[in-house]
Amino acid sequence: MMSNFTYFLLVFSVTVLYSITFGLCAIRTNKLKRFSEDWKQTKVFYITIMAQAFMRFVTYALLTWTLPRSETKNESLFLLVSVPDCLFIVSYVLLAHQMVSVFYYTHMENDIQLSLIIHFTRPKHKSVSKFIAYTISAWLSVEVLFFTLYFSDVLRQVDIELELALVNILSATILMLILLYLYINYSGTPFKSDASKDKLQRITLVTLLWTLGRYINGVLVLIDINSAGFVTEIYDERSTYVTACLAVADLVISEVCCFLTVIEYRFMEIFSYAGEDDRNRISAEVFTHPAKAISLSDDTATLSESLINPNPFIDASEITVSTKIGARQNGLGELYKCLYKGKELLYRKISFPRMSGYVLEEFNSEIINLKSIDSGYMVPFHGASFNLPSIGIITAYMPNGSLYFNLHEIKTRFTIQEKGKIIMELAQGLRELHSLGRVHGHLSSHNLVLDSQQKVKISDLGLEKIKKYAGVVISYQNKNAWSSPELLREASRTCVRAKPTDDIYSFGVIVWEIITEEIPYEGLNYSKMQQSVGHEGATPIIGSSFPSDLSKLVKSCWSVETEKRPNFKTICSTLSSIKWK
């Protein structure tokens, strides 16, 4: 049995711990006013956290100073300790809903793939608040009934403990299944931004910690279910030092640590951004009036900082769009000729059914990034314009068209020397691109164009985040017959995580295409090509008439072992030794 001094020391320590926890909760409530309207239930969540911390503090303070150990009645003590346990289940349900909501908010929306449960769990869905309220009301009603039966001597203390333990384990298991379902369902859906990914990781880790606490609490109670009651071990005169310390450890792990994780500033920042409508309004205003960017509030600091340099953005009224050049199936928008300041340029119009603020933020960052590229091997980029929900990309116009157009549509007859020149220029351009730490990711003869001197230029570079978004909402696809097997094995038809070795593989296919003047895998649909190339290792057929030195290089570019594919420094060196005759 514990001595009175040991008892006092343990209870006093817990009192101090909960007083600190409650104090931190009270201080952090000033952040609630910055929460978006989309997160009303999160405010309720924090109110329940404060209530629990306060009740725990009051309970242990009473036990430390006003309720002598010998006079503590089991019934009143059990009620004081158990009510916060019931409230913790309420907080856990609310946290689970916030986690599911963050899954929705942090991923790009895909109306085709969204299932019923994800539609239902959107924070703005009318049924969500009612469902959560009904669930919590039902739980609290059941607990009131159980405590009434307990004080009427119909139920024993151990019965209520058993019920709480089972609910803890069951709720934790259900949430783990929901979490697994969400990760599987969203596995092919890109994040809105890196910040969104970070937010989801934070709330997932916190939810897992809370879930671990529920399991620990439930299992420990079940282990001691036949004793006088595990939750009162600290105050039971028959308890040992070990069991009392175990009870304190349970409180620290399953409650205090959980409380501290959710009142941490970085966690609370998850809910502190403006709503979708506000972000759309802010983004539209900023892109229309870039000078206003520096006067935005702290909530939009990231956006405003990225808009300090408005140079890449062109007023749509200054552009005269004329002849439509074409639009490929599942391509990135439509291509037009346009006039800007008296110069003939290429205008790529990308039309979205909807455009959210986060998309504009990402687009803005990528446009500034593109503007910073200065290379003679890339198609010059002039800027971007907005006519929401459409956006325009303005680049130099190449009158001779794409390499694909020349090889397969107008059947330009290139000499072997001209072919060698195109191949070498492409290799040099990709060497420079990779030296800058960049990867194209979806090279093909469609995005290689010829200028007026028949020099090859690389186009369609960058805009990865916009391409991901386009892949979700307008069925954009950039994986094709030139893509590496590694990319084709991925479920998405839009390249998400390209590596330099993917460009090397595509380069090999383009070289084969230039020499043979054939379309790779012509007549094969995407699914069959994906199976054949991605899973069975098929490659274009190299005939006996193919130059032997070049054949060896191309085959090395197609190596199944990606680390054995030559880099472009090696490729350029090899090409320079080939005599094009």
Residues 285-309: tens digit of each pLDDT? 444 444 333 333 333 333 333 333 3
In this predicted structure, the answer to whether residue 61 has a pLDDT above a threshold of 60 is: yes
Q: Please tell me the chain's helix, strand, coil percentages from 3-state DSSP, rounded to the nearest 5.
A: 60, 10, 30
Q: Which two tokens stand for residue 460?
A: 């369609």
Euclidean distance between CA atoms 471 and 183, whole angstroms: 19
Whether residue 71 has pLDDT greater than 70: no
pLDDT at residue 115, rounded to an integer: 42
Whether 395 contacts 382, CB under 8 Å: yes
Residues facing 345 on adjacent strands: 338, 396
Alpha carbon distance 45, 98 (integer Å) = 9
* Averaged pLDDT, 521-539: 86
Indicate if the pLDDT at residue 138 is higher than 90: yes
Residues contacting residue 289 through CB under 8 Å, at least 6 positions apart: none
Q: What is the pLDDT of residues 478-499, one digit of tens each?
A: 888 898 898 888 877 777 678 8
pLDDT for res 248: 79
Domain with CATH 3.30.200.20 in the chain: 278-396
Domain ranges in the chain with CATH number 1.20.1070 = 4-272
So what's the pLDDT on residue 423? Answer: 93
> In the predicted model, what is the mean pLDDT of residues 559-581?
90
CA–CA separation, 377 vs 425, rounded Å? 8
Q: Answer for the pair 492, 330: CB distance below 8 angstroms, yes or no.
A: no
pLDDT digits (tens, 9 = 90+) for 220-242: 888 764 333 434 555 555 566 67
What's the whole-number mean pLDDT along residues 115-137? 62
Q: State how far the Cα of 51 lies from the Cα of 58, in Å rounded to an integer.
A: 11
Nearest-angstrom CA–CA distance, 498 and 505: 11
Is the per-residue pLDDT at 545 higher than 80?
yes
For all residues of the chain together, what is the average pLDDT?
78
* pLDDT at residue 27, as a whole number: 83
Beta strands 390-396; 381-387: pairing state = antiparallel
Of all residues in the chain, the percent with pLDDT exceeding 90 is 20
213-227, 246-260, 266-280, 312-326 — which is least confidently predicted?
266-280
- What is the predicted pLDDT for the residue at 126? 52
Counting every residue written for the chain, the total comes to 581
Question: Band of the pLDDT at 386, cuts 50, 70, 90?
Answer: confident
Range(s) for CATH 1.10.510.10 in the chain? 403-576
Tell whether the model's pLDDT for residue 532 goes beyond 60: yes
Predicted TM-score (pTM) of the model is: 0.52
Q: Which of 150-154, 265-269, 470-474 has the lowest mean pLDDT?
A: 470-474
CATH number for the segment(s) 4-272: 1.20.1070
DSSP assignment of 452-505 equals TT--EEE-S---HHHHHHHHHHS------TTS-HHHHTSS-SS--S--HHHHHH
- Report pLDDT for 113: 40
Instruction: Report the run of H or E that residue 355 belongs to, with start and end.
Output: none
The CATH code belonging to domain 278-396 is: 3.30.200.20
Q: How far apart are CA 342 and CA 435, in angstroms?
A: 35
Separation CA 357–CA 383 (nearest Å): 19
Under CATH, domain 403-576 is a member of which superfamily? Transferase(Phosphotransferase) domain 1 (1.10.510.10)
